[in-house]
Each structure stands twice: as structure tokens, then as C-alpha cells.
Amino acid sequence: MIRPALRLLAAVLLGFSLSAQAAQFTVSQLMAALANNKHGAASFTEKKFISILDQPVESSGELLFIAPARLEKRTLKPKAETLVLDGEVLSIERRRQKHVLQLKDYPEVAGMIESMRATLAGDRKALERIYHLALQGNRERWTLVLIPLDAKVGGVVARIRIEGTQDEVRTVEILQADGDRSLMNIQKIAAP
């Protein structure tokens, strides 16, 4: 009588263990799903919480991604600004002035920017060169936390938290080393 009960208990526990393993969502699975998106367009709203200001700074606009290396952020409100990352070149245009930066000259900024581009591209190797990756959740609702490995990047960024569903990034929260933070909400624009 005890043996059948023990076998039943073992089978239940084994079944629970196997189903938990089958349901586990891995960084490799997430990166593969994200890598399938070769391009995308989205609208965004962003709040920047800066310690010297009483209210967050709010902005909104559009994002465009073309894998593997082009990322555009067009801020429309409150003031027009365009950031274009193409390969290793970052162009910033505001008030009819354009600045062009080589990312290799600004490794701290490059690390922050690469977090978004590499995530959208599903480029795990690029992310792991700069960050420790920790994934929680499942395919339907996941959270990827990036912690800088490099002290220079860590001097600017304490943590980046990216949340999404399936192959879509929905929010990006950047906690800076000085305590300031930004929270970007992203809404995919349906293809026409």
C-alpha cells in the first residue's frame, strides 16, 4: 500500500518537474524570437525622472528599427529631435543642428545604446559583451535585466530593465548610476 502511494507521489513530482522545465523560457529562445523581426516601427512615450526636477520630463515620438544595425528615435513632442544610429555612427539632429558621433569615442554611451539595438536584433553575443543578462517570466510576459560588466558603462548605467511579450519589446527602463531614470513605453505600429 505504501509503495503504490510513493510511486504515485514520485510520478506527480516528476511530472511537475518536467512540466516546469518545459515551460521555462530561456535567453536563447527570447533572442531567437526577437531576431526574427528584421524591421519594425513603433510609437513611444518616455518619462525621464531627474533628481533636480520636481516633475518628470515627458516626450513622445516614433522608433524605427532595421536589423541589424539601424535604430532611429524621432522625438516629436515636446521638441523635435532625431537620433539615428547606423552601424557605429550616431547622428543627433535638433533645432536644425546636426552632430555626428563615433560610438567608439564614447564607450559609456555606446553601451547604453547597444542595449536597445542588440535586444531588438536578438543579438545575444553583443549584449553579453557589455552586460550580464537575467531573464524572468515566460514567452507571454518576460523581463530581461541587463547589468553592466564594464566599469565605464557601469559608471553611467546601473541597470536596464526591458519588458515584453513574445517577440515585442514593450518597456525599457534605464536606471542610471546617479539615480536618475527613464521609462519608455513602446507600442508597435501595425504594418499598412
* Residue 49 · residue 180 · CB < 8 Å: yes
Going from N- to C-terminal start, the domains of the chain cover 27-188
* Residue 184 · residue 172 · CB < 8 Å: yes
Q: Give pLDDT, residue 107.
A: 83
Percent of the chain exceeding pLDDT 70 equals 87
pTM comes to 0.84
pLDDT digits (tens, 9 = 90+) for 119-157: 999 999 999 999 999 999 999 999 999 999 989 899 999
7 or 140: whose pLDDT is higher? 140
CATH topology of domain 27-188: outer membrane lipoprotein receptor (LolB), chain A (2.50.20)
**90 Cβ neighbours under 8 A, 6+ residues apart:** 83, 84, 100, 101, 102, 103, 109, 113
For residues 130-156, one letter each, b for 16 or more C-beta atoms within 10 angstroms of the residue's C-beta and e for the rest, the string is bbebebeeeeeebebbbebeeeebbeb
pLDDT digits (tens, 9 = 90+) for 30-82: 999 999 988 889 999 999 999 999 999 999 999 999 988 899 999 999 999 99
pLDDT band at 8 (very low <50, low <70, confident <90, very high): very low
Amino acid type, 69: A
* Residue 45 · residue 59 · CB < 8 Å: yes
* Residue 84 · residue 65 · CB < 8 Å: no
